[in-house]
Chain A
Amino acid sequence: QLQLQESGPGLVKPSETLSLTCTVSGGSITSSDYYWAWLRQAPGKGLEWIGNIYNSGSTAFNPSLKSRVTMSVDASKNQLSLKLRSVTAADTAVYYCASTTTIVRGAIERWGQGVLVTVSS
Chain B
Amino acid sequence: DIQMTQSPSFVSASVGDRVTITCRASQGIGTWLAWYQQKPGKAPNLLIYSASSLQSGVPSRFSGSGSGTAFTLTINTLQPDDFATYFCQQSSGFPFTFGQGTKLEIK
Enumerate chain A interface residues (CB-CB to B < 8 A). Answer: 46-49, 51-52, 60-64, 96, 104-109, 111-114
Contact = CB atoms under 8 A, between A and B. Distances in A.
B62 interface: no
Contacts of A51: 95
| Interface SS of B by simple majority | loop
Given A46-B99, A46-B101, A49-B96, A106 B91 contact: yes
Contact of B50 (A47, A63, A104, A111): A104
Contacts of B36: 108
Contact of B100 (A46, A61, A109): A46
Contacts of A107: 34, 46, 49-50, 55, 89, 91
B98 A105 contact: no
A96 B43 contact: yes
Interface residues of B, number: 25
Given A46-B98, A64-B95, A104 B43 contact: no
Contacts of B89: 47, 107-108
Contacts of A60: 94
B43 A49 contact: no
Contacts of B67: none
B97 interface: yes
A112 B43 contact: yes
A107 B32 CA distance: 9
Most chain B beta-carbon contacts within 10 A, residue among A62, A64, A105, A114: A105
B98 A47 contact: yes
A118 B99 CA distance: 24
Nearest to A108: B46
B96 A106 contact: yes
Given A113-B43, A114-B43, A104 B55 contact: yes
B46 A109 contact: yes
A108 B44 contact: yes
